A and B are shown apart, each in its own frame.
Chain A
Amino acid sequence: MSMLLILPIVIPLFTASMSLVFRRSRRVQRWLAVSGSVAMVASGATLLWRVWDDGILAGQAGGWRAPFGITLVADLFSAIMVLTASVVGLLTILYAIGSLDEGRRRFGFYPLTHVLLMGVCGTFLTGDMFNLYVWFEVMLIASFVLLALGGEQPQMEGAIKYVALNLVASVIFLMAVGLLYGVAGTLNMADLSIKLRETSNPGLVTAIAMMFLVSFGIKAAIFPLFFWLPASYHTPPIVVSAIFAGLLTKVGAYSMIRVFTLVFTQDINYTHTIILILAGLTMVTGVLGAVAQYDMRRLLSFHIVSQIGYLLMGLGLFSPLALAGAIFFMVHVILAKTALFLIGGIVWRLRGSYQLRDLGGLYASKPALALLFLVPALSLAGVPPLSGFFAKLALVQAGLEDGEYVIAGVALAVGILTLFSMIKIWNEAFWKDQPEGVDLASDEERGLHEPSATPYLYGPVIAMVVLILALGLGAGPLYEMATVASEQLIDPDGYIRAVMGEE
């Protein structure tokens, strides 16, 4: 089995363990965290290159052939996700070096983040349903601790809601996996794909598929399962919010796409129509929620929900174009959302508040930051020639081609509202003047006494903005990759052959 398949799992685990052992030293922890992330990015890039050149890469952990051992599989979709996650991990860790308080650092922020990345990459690379559950739990508990780390009251209150609903999701997931094993006798995804094609009770299989839909849906924050997200994502320090925004819900979306293209394709009219309806509702309720907000973080949190709707749309339409659009969209939205959260953090540092009404004057005093904000904000709204435009274009084209005019129209209309809410931030934080006499965080809290932090804060943001621009202006080759990835998803035979051998 190629080392490339387990490096994204082993590297962060190793880094985290060493970090745990050396938890006294700030320098060692920082150094470990960064080098571990860089190693992950390198291995992710190599993996992507390899899969692009040689096709789907599969390996069996423990040396036991499929479907008896646990298979790790990297098709293009997985490889793209691993690389994106690693990049986001690296950039947010760099930001954390500049922004994190010492208390959280001492109690394990860096190892926690790495374990989170481990779980995330594990879900992307696994080819086994129960193993998927395990990685989900790894990721989940890391996120629990990160969310609650610091113990402030809003964190505690947010954590209760977050923990509660995600645990319900885990239990539903576990039950669904159990049922699946009982019904099919195997947990290997490729094997399931084969075995579930001829079942004596396809309706039961579809019912189990619905359970997965609900479970993943909670984690991906779709309608009507997303209410935990706006209640909790804005409570921890901004860098934690950024990591969550970029990665956690996307894992849920990834799992949905994986499962509903590989395993549960027996009743597409039923399952994918439901998905399409939920997509539309998610888009609309999410963006309306955002429009109502005056706290920057909550506004961005609602947008996470809305954007997931687009991914669902790609899945629901279930055509090569739609899935390619969904994959492209996934990368775009991860970058854009993380960038926006981090910029929000910089704004807080400069102006001392997240409340839009209390902010202002940044376009005049910090034009560079304003431009940095405009790129991901407009990209999110789908303004060309940025990444978001091409992602939405693919999805809308797919919708129109299939005659699904309603969802295409909804997608476009939601884009208008997304722009509206982004302009709200622009108007309030950047264009208008900052009002007098408002309640701001102290200089001490904001960490302004550490000016050396600035490159760590701006560097990742600039990197992400460059990537978004590249994704838009250079959309051709990247979209081509997404197309090949989507073909691999639509026709699982390649995946199955890579896993099970030629049969």
Chain B
Amino acid sequence: METILAFVIGGLFGAGIFMMLRRSIVKFIIGLGLIAHAANLLIFTVAGLTRGEPPLIPPTMTELAEDAPFGDPMPSALILTAIVISFSVLAFAMVLVHRVYQTVGSDDIDDMQSTDT
């Protein structure tokens, strides 16, 4: 499954990059969302996939050996944090895009060159 997911991740990332290269700021935001998904999936996949065993210790167990059969909880925690952070940033970016559109009057990034030259 890792292999298939590798291609999924690559596909998501590529799609996201393609969108970010477009001239419309709306497509740009969508691209951001796509590559964020790719990154999260990447962390998840690369850390090792174990099917079905959530890292929740049933009330019956009171002691655990180190090699207890749970999935790796770390990537979950990392991705959770990353999701929240990405969401925050994405939210801000979306509102920024909205304000940019209001100020510049166009959704075409090519019209936003005045600060460069």
Contact = CB atoms under 8 A, between A and B. Distances in A.
Direct contact of A and B (CB under 8 A): yes
Contacts of B97: 160
A235 B103 CA distance: 14
B109 interface: yes
B57 interface: no
Contacts of A485: none
Given A160-B100, A163-B96, A181 B75 contact: yes
Interface string A131-156: 00110010011001100100111101
A160 B89 contact: no
- Please report whether the interface of chain B is mostly helix, strand, loop or mixed according to DSSP: helix
A64 to B, nearest CB: 13
Indicate the size class of the contact surface on chain A.
Answer: 35 or more
Contacts of A231: 115-116
B74 interface: yes
Contact of B115 (A140, A170, A177, A235): A235
Contacts of B45: 182
Interface in A208-234: 230-232, 234
B22 to A, nearest CB: 12
A255 B42 CA distance: 23
A108 interface: no
A174 B43 contact: yes
A182 B48 contact: yes
Contact of A151 (B25, B74, B99): B99
B78 A137 contact: no
B47 A175 contact: no
Nearest to A131: B81
A39 interface: no
A435 to B, nearest CB: 22
Interface in A168-222: 168, 170-171, 174-175, 177-179, 181-183
A167 B89 contact: yes
Indicate the size class of the contact surface on chain B.
Answer: 35 or more
A154 B88 contact: no
Given A164-B28, A182-B46, A182-B47, A157 B39 contact: no
B47 A178 contact: yes
Nearest to B105: A153
Interface string B87-103: 01100110011011001
Contact of A154 (B78, B81, B114): B114
A229 B38 CA distance: 27
Contact of A171 (B39, B100, B115): B39
Contacts of B114: 153-154, 157
24 contacts: A133-B82, A134-B81, A140-B89, A141-B88, A141-B89, A154-B114, A156-B96, A157-B112, A157-B114, A158-B115, A159-B96, A160-B96, A160-B100, A161-B116, A167-B32, A167-B93, A168-B20, A168-B35, A171-B36, A171-B38, A174-B39, A182-B45, A182-B48, A231-B115
